[in-house]
Amino acid sequence: MEDDCVEGDIMTKIRVLFLCTGNSARSQMAEAFLRKYGGERFEAFSAGIEPQGIHPLTRKVMAEIGIDLKDSRSKSFKDYFGKTYFAYLVIVCSAADKQCPAIFPGVGARLVWPFEDPAKKDGTEEEKLGAFREVRDQISDRLKVWVDILNLSIT
């Protein structure tokens, strides 16, 4: 783990891995929001059980709020499994929770935040966009609160 010096004190970054089935929407959004809200205290990563590429509507709804995912890509959980320590593994879909190994070496705490899969929404383009926006906003709200709680507990 990397250390940052802040006014003479050593502060260890809190590493968080967001896991989803395809690493195409929810986990990508969560990673981006932790980068936005977490500041220098956190390192955010995301991965999927079966990476599928980032959904175009994920990129679109994140761009609407000023978050550019152009340099992001889908990654496999195997890229990290047993290779990297994470203070938290946050599983953002119930399917990934069922498929994820019960033991994930190098994880301090396992959290499950099941959000609906916006990619499964049927309907018009606008209805699909609405589903992506709704999940985006739910993830944003959840991350804001969680980061505030963690920041209070480590200050």
Q: Residue 70 has which token pair?
A: 């152009």
The residues assigned a catalytic role are: 20, 93, 100
State how far the Cα of 130 lies from the Cα of 25, in Å rounded to an integer.
Answer: 14
Examine residue 150 and state whether it is found in any structural domain, yes or no.
Answer: no
Examine residue 97 and state whether it is found in any structural domain, yes or no.
Answer: yes
Examine residue 62 and state whether it is found in any structural domain, yes or no.
Answer: yes
* Better pLDDT: 2 or 141: 141
Question: What's the domain count of the chain?
Answer: 1
For residue 132, the domain's CATH number is: 3.40.50.2300
Predicted local confidence at residue 4, as pLDDT: 41
Examine residue 151 and state whether it is found in any structural domain, yes or no.
Answer: no
Query: Which pLDDT band holds residue 44 (cuts at 50, 70, 90)?
Result: very high
Predicted local confidence at residue 100, as pLDDT: 77
Examine residue 153 and state whether it is found in any structural domain, yes or no.
Answer: no
pTM value is 0.89
Nearest Cα neighbor of 11 from 82, 87, 81 is 87
- Counted residue by residue, the chain has a size of 155
